[in-house]
Amino acid sequence: MDMKQPFEKLVEGHGATVLRVCRAVVGPADAEDVWQETFLAALRAYPDLPADANTEAWLVTIAHRKSLDAVRAGRRRPSPVAQPPEDHSPHGIPGAERPGDGIWASVAQLPDKQRRVIAYRFLADLPFNDIAEIVGGSPAAARRAASDGIRSLRAAFAAAHTEGESA
């Protein structure tokens, strides 16, 4: 595996993961633009990437920078989801029409760093060492941000769930 793969293999192997990360970080409306910017920048820089580099971590790093650019470019602050419709099913696991909205909305409300750390850890499956290099700070701090974020999500989910059951 020391030979550099054709770029097509990177798109094939990591395109979906990078899109998930973009959705979690900048929201569905801007995710595809950030994905494009990420892969175009990666294609440009690819000839200089060492053949033994971890391509997924490299792509997520680029996606991270591009998402910051997108936010700085004065687009609306990341708000991954519109409010769920009023008639959203209140029962148990978020309803059939907009499945997942509950969590989606909760992820959107996390502080920026927590949201990013969770996306890089659980959607891109990167180790905290790599995540710390991407977002800055120590691996321990990244781990803490992830568990704080997970705790908030869990609380939000529990609240929504209870509310749903009592409705």
Residues of the shown chain interacting with other proteins in the complex, contacts defined by CB under 8 A:
3-8, 11, 15-17, 19-20, 23-24, 28, 32, 35-36, 39-40, 43-44, 46-47, 81, 93-94, 98-104, 106-107, 121-125, 143, 146-147, 150, 153-154, 157-158, 161
- Whichever of 70 and 124 has its CB closer to other proteins, that residue is 124
Sign of the dihedral through C-alpha 82, 83, 86, 90:
positive
- Whichever of 133 and 148 has its CB closer to other proteins, that residue is 148
- Whichever of 136 and 159 has its CB closer to other proteins, that residue is 159
Q: How far is the CB of 83 from other proteins (least distance, A)?
A: 14
Q: How far is the CB of 38 from other proteins (least distance, A)?
A: 10
Q: What are phi and psi of 160, to 5 degrees?
A: -60, -40
- Whichever of 75 and 98 has its CB closer to other proteins, that residue is 98
- Report the alpha-carbon distance of residue 104 to residue 47 in Å, rounded: 36
- Report the alpha-carbon distance of residue 65 to residue 22 in Å, rounded: 11
- Report the alpha-carbon distance of residue 15 to residue 39 in Å, rounded: 9
- Whichever of 101 and 130 has its CB closer to other proteins, that residue is 101
Q: How many CB atoms lie within 10 A of CB 167?
A: 8
Q: How far is the CB of 136 from other proteins (least distance, A)?
A: 20
Q: How far is the CB of 104 from other proteins (least distance, A)?
A: 5
| Cα 101 → chain centroid | 15
Token pair of 11 as six digits: 């798109």
- Report the alpha-carbon distance of residue 142 to residue 146 in Å, rounded: 6
Q: How far is the CB of 31 from other proteins (least distance, A)?
A: 10
